[in-house]
């Protein structure tokens, strides 16, 4: 096997994690462009199949490497990180500030609090938002002004929140235009039937580059995470319905941290009044709140490059130590 400098570990199931897998894919591509020998170690059939389709180089989790970057839903265990560190491997955690973080070499979390006094170096802030590299090309694109919605709850929308929102919007009198991106593994026959009646509207299976769909919309309906940051980069505000209370709390903290945060959280999906959510969405679509800042001022689309700079610096320092 050809030597690997950096291994990215990620996983996904039918119910969660596809955003983590896509972020690992974007990072792998960015590292490869910088001349680093990189591969991805996927856990689970969903992660492996997705990365195979995307053409990434795949290895097993026990493949030797100087640096391991872990980007997994629900975080890592302390034992996992300690074992790697004891073997001389530098460990980077992405989007993980749980107990294991204090044992890592570096923690990178774009949505984490900035300026923590903790024993491990932490890189936080939206400058480190790891997004699709093509988003930089679409940064701050002018809104079309057509009243188009883009609805996407990610590739792990097992409870079909996209369909719930579509049905509520339809009942509230919305008739397009809209682009609805759905999880390929979720049945959405009713959703397709409704959207087929709307003007200039379509249902699209998730996969590939989502940026062109975001650019055509004036408002995006989603949940907090990678896609919300990509939406900000393009220059669009969002309304969100969140899958867990932790997501709701995170959205609230960011709204407090960033004046004019261009997102409105409509609550928790499990208890969401979809009718009220649809009506509020249409009100925002008609008139964006004047208190919102320009979304593109928060995320510039170059987060992947900044993360790669940090990872390569760690890799070079680790390699130098091993050689010495």
237 class by beta-carbon count within 10 Å (0-12 exposed, 13-18 middle, 19+ buried): buried
Residues 134-159 as b/e (b if ≥16 CB within 10 A, e otherwise) read ebbebeebebeeeebbbbbbbbbbee
Contact 296, 312 (CB under 8 A): no
**Per-residue pLDDT tens over the stretch 231-286:** 999 999 999 999 999 999 999 999 999 999 999 999 999 999 999 999 999 999 99
Helix (H, G, I), strand (E, B) or coil at 220: strand
Give me 5's structure tokens: 């400098």
Contact 296, 236 (CB under 8 A): no
Contact 50, 60 (CB under 8 A): no
Taking each helix axis from N to C end, the angle separating 18-33 and 226-234, rounded to the nearest 10 degrees, works out to: 60
Q: For the whole model, what pTM was predicted?
A: 0.89
Cα(65)–Cα(81) distance, rounded to whole angstroms? 14
**Using omega within 30 degrees of 0 as the cis cutoff, is the peptide bond preceding 177 cis?**
yes
Contact 38, 32 (CB under 8 A): yes
Give me 15's structure tokens: 């119910």
Give me 86's structure tokens: 């004891």
Contact 179, 201 (CB under 8 A): yes
Residues 17-40 as b/e (b if ≥16 CB within 10 A, e otherwise) read bbbbbbbbbbbbbbbbeeebebbb
Q: CB 233: neighbour CB atoms within 10 A?
A: 28
Task: Indicate the domain borders of the chain.
Answer: 6-131+301-323, 134-297
Give me 25's structure tokens: 């894919």
Do 6-131+301-323 and 134-297 fold alike per CATH? yes
Handedness of CA 316, 320, 322, 323 (dihedral sign): positive
pLDDT in tens, the chain (324 residues): 457 999 999 998 877 788 889 899 999 999 999 999 999 999 989 899 989 988 999 999 889 999 999 999 888 999 999 999 999 999 999 988 888 998 999 999 888 876 555 667 888 889 999 888 888 889 999 999 999 999 999 877 878 899 999 999 999 999 999 999 987 777 778 899 999 999 999 999 887 788 999 999 999 999 998 899 999 999 999 999 999 999 999 999 999 999 999 999 999 999 999 999 999 999 999 988 889 999 999 999 999 999 999 999 999 998 876 555
CATH class of 134-297: alpha beta
DSSP-derived secondary structure letter, 143: P
Q: Which CATH architecture has domain 6-131+301-323?
A: 3-Layer(aba) Sandwich (3.40)
Cα(299)–Cα(229) distance, rounded to whole angstroms? 7
């Amino acid at each position: 096997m050809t030597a690997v400098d950096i291994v990215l570990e990620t996983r996904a199931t039918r119910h969660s994690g596809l955003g983590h897998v896509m972020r690992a894919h974007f990072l792998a591509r960015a590292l490869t462009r910088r001349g680093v020998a990189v591969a991805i170690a996927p856990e689970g059939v969903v992660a492996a199949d997705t990365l195979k389709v995307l053409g990434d180089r795949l290895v097993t989790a026990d493949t030797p490497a100087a640096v391991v970057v872990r980007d997994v839903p629900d975080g890592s265990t302390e034992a996992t990180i300690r074992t790697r560190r004891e073997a001389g491997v530098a460990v980077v955690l992405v989007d993980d500030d749980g107990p294991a973080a204090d044992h890592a070499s570096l923690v990178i979390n774009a949505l984490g609090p900035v300026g923590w006094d903790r024993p491990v170096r932490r890189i936080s802030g939206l400058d480190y938002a790891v997004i699709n590299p093509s988003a930089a090309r679409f940064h701050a694109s002018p809104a079309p002004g057509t009243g188009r919605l883009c609805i996407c709850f990610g590739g792990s929308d097992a409870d079909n929140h996209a369909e719930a929102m579509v049905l509520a919007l339809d009942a509230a009198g919305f008739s397009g235009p809209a682009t609805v991106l759905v999880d390929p593994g979720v049945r959405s026959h009713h959703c397709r039937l409704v959207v087929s009646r709307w003007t200039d509207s379509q249902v699209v299976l998730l996969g590939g580059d989502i940026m062109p769909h975001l650019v055509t919309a004036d408002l995006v309906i989603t949940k907090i995470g990678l896609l919300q940051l990509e939406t900000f980069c393009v220059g669009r505000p969002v309304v969100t319905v969140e899958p867990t209370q932790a997501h709701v709390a995170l959205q609230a903290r960011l709204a407090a941290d960033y004046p004019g945060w261009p997102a409105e959280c409509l609550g928790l999906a499990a208890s969401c009044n979809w009718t009220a959510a649809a009506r509020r969405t249409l009100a925002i679509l008609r008139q964006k709140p004047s208190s919102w800042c320009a979304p593109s001022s928060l995320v510039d689309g170059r987060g992947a490059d900044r993360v790669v700079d940090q990872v390569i610096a760690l890799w070079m320092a680790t390699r130098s130590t091993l050689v010495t």
